[in-house]
A and B are shown apart, each in its own frame.
Chain A
Amino acid sequence: MSLVPVTININGTPTPAQVEPRMLLVQFLRDELELTGTHVGCDTSQCGACTVSLNGEAVKSCTLFAVQADGMDVQTIEGIGSMDDLHPIQAAFWEQHGLQCGFCTPGMIMASAEIIRRNPDPSEEEIREQLGGNFCRCTGYHNIVKAISSAAAVMREKGAEAGQAADD
Chain B
Amino acid sequence: MTQLPDSNYKAPDGPQKYIGKAVKRVEDPRFITGQGHYTDDINVHGQLHAAMLRSPYAHAKIGQIDASAALALKGVHAVLTGQDLADAKVGSIPTGWLLPDLKIPPHPAIAHGEVHYVGDIVAVVIAESRALAEDAVALIEVDLEPLDAVSLGSQALAQGAAEVHPEAPGNVAFNWEIGDAAAADELFKQADHVVSLKIRNHRLVPNAIEPRASLAQYQRSSEEFTLHTTSQNPHIHRLMLAAFVLGIPEHKLRVISPDVGGGFGSKIFQYPEEVIVLFAAKKLNRPVKWAARRSESFVSDMQGRDHESEAQLALSKDGKMLALKVDTIANMGAYLTTFAPAVPTYLYGTLLNGVYKFGAVHAKVTGVFTNTVPVDAYRGAGRPEATYLVERIVSKAASELGMDAAEIRRKNFIQPEDFPYQTPVALVYDSGNYEPALDKALGMLGYQDLLKEQAEGRKNGRYIGIGFSTYVEACGLAPSALVGQLGAQAGQWESAVVRVMPTGKIEVLTGSHSHGQGHETTFAQIAAEEFGIPMEDVVIVHGDTGKMPFGWGTYGSRSAAVGGSALKMALGRIKDKATKIAAHLLEAAPEDIEVADGQFKVKGVPEGGKSFFDVALMAHLAHNLPEGMEPGLEAQYMYDPKNFVYPFGTHIAVVELDADTGHVKMIKYVCVDDCGPLINPLVVEGQVHGGIAQGFGQAILEETVYDEEGNMLTGSFMEYSMPRAEDLPMFEIDHTVTPSPHNPLGVKGIGESGTIASTAAVANAVNDALRAFGHHHVDMPFTPEKVWRAMKGGVQDLGQAADD
A residues near B (Cβ < 8 Å) are: 20, 22-23, 30-31, 34-44, 46-47, 49, 76-78, 81-83, 86, 90, 93-95, 97, 99-106, 109, 124, 127-129, 131-132, 134-145
**Cβ-closest 7 pairs across A and B:** A37-B34, A103-B261, A102-B31, A101-B516, A140-B693, A77-B34, A140-B689
Q: Are A137 and B209 touching (Cβ within 8 A)? A: yes
What secondary structure prevails in chain A residues at the interface with B?
loop
Q: Are B689 and A76 touching (Cβ within 8 A)? A: no
Closest to B683 in A: A97
Known: A20-B131, A35-B34, A128-B725. A44 touches B264 (CB 8 A): no
Q: Are B518 and A94 touching (Cβ within 8 A)? A: no
Q: Are B722 and A94 touching (Cβ within 8 A)? A: no
Q: How far, in angstroms, from A77 to B682 measured CA to CA in the complex? A: 24
Q: Are B724 and A132 touching (Cβ within 8 A)? A: yes
Closest to B37 in A: A36
Counting chain B CB atoms within 10 Å of each CB, which of A31, A105, A129 scores highest? A105
Q: Are B690 and A139 touching (Cβ within 8 A)? A: yes
Known: A102-B27, A128-B726. A44 touches B32 (CB 8 A): no
Q: Are A86 and B725 touching (Cβ within 8 A)? A: no
Shortest CB-to-CB span from B131 to chain A, Å, is: 7
Q: Are A100 and B131 touching (Cβ within 8 A)? A: no
Q: Which of B1-29 contact A (CB under 8 A)?
A: 24-25, 27-29
Known: A31-B43, A99-B28, A101-B516. A137 touches B726 (CB 8 A): no
Counting chain B CB atoms within 10 Å of each CB, which of A39, A76, A93 scores highest? A39
| Beyond A105-B32, A140-B690, A141-B689, 20 extra complex contacts between A and B, CB < 8 Å | A34-B43, A36-B37, A40-B211, A41-B209, A42-B716, A43-B716, A46-B722, A47-B209, A93-B32, A95-B24, A100-B686, A102-B30, A103-B261, A105-B36, A132-B724, A135-B722, A136-B725, A138-B516, A140-B692, A142-B728
Q: Are A140 and B726 touching (Cβ within 8 A)? A: no
Give the chain B neighbours of A128 by CB distance below 8 A: 724-726, 728
21 contacts between A and B (CB under 8 A): A22-B131, A36-B40, A37-B33, A38-B34, A41-B210, A42-B717, A43-B295, A77-B32, A99-B31, A100-B262, A100-B516, A101-B259, A101-B262, A102-B32, A103-B262, A105-B31, A131-B724, A136-B209, A140-B692, A140-B731, A141-B693
Q: Are B689 and A143 touching (Cβ within 8 A)? A: yes
Q: How far, in angstroms, from A141 to B24 measured CA to CA in the complex? A: 18
Q: Are A131 and B726 touching (Cβ within 8 A)? A: yes
Q: Are A101 and B210 touching (Cβ within 8 A)? A: yes
Q: How far, in angstroms, from A36 to B692 measured CA to CA in the complex? A: 30
Give the chain B neighbours of A129 by CB distance below 8 A: 725-726
Q: Are B730 and A124 touching (Cβ within 8 A)? A: yes
Q: How far, in angstroms, from A95 to B741 measured CA to CA in the complex? A: 33
Give the chain B neighbours of A101 by CB distance below 8 A: 208-210, 259-262, 515-516
Q: Does B320 contact A (CB under 8 A)?
A: no
Q: Are B32 and A49 touching (Cβ within 8 A)? A: no
Counting chain A CB atoms within 10 Å of each CB, which of B35, B131, B692 scores highest? B35
The total of interchain contacts (Cβ-Cβ below 8 angstroms) comes to 182
Give the chain A neighbours of B252 by CB distance below 8 A: none
Interface flags for B396-420 (1: CB within 8 Å of A; 0: not) read 0000000000000000000000000
Give the chain A neighbours of B262 by CB distance below 8 A: 100-101, 103, 137-138
Q: Are B207 and A137 touching (Cβ within 8 A)? A: yes
Known: A43-B295, A140-B689. A100 touches B264 (CB 8 A): no
Q: Are B38 and A39 touching (Cβ within 8 A)? A: yes
Q: Does B789 contact A (CB under 8 A)?
A: no
Known: A137-B264, A140-B731. A36 touches B716 (CB 8 A): no
Known: A22-B131, A43-B293. A138 touches B690 (CB 8 A): yes
Q: How far, in angstroms, from A136 to B682 measured CA to CA in the complex? A: 17
Give the chain A neighbours of B575 by CB distance below 8 A: none
Q: Are B209 and A37 touching (Cβ within 8 A)? A: no
Q: Does B41 contact A (CB under 8 A)?
A: yes
Q: Does B668 contact A (CB under 8 A)?
A: no
Q: Which of B725-761 contact A (CB under 8 A)?
A: 725-726, 728, 730-731, 754
Closest to B43 in A: A31
Q: Does B107 contact A (CB under 8 A)?
A: no
Interface flags for B300-342 (1: CB within 8 Å of A; 0: not) read 0000000000000000000000000000000000000000000
Q: Does B294 contact A (CB under 8 A)?
A: yes
**A46's contact among B31, B264, B689, B717, by CB below 8 Å, is which?**
B717
**A78's contact among B24, B33, B260, by CB below 8 Å, is which?**
B33
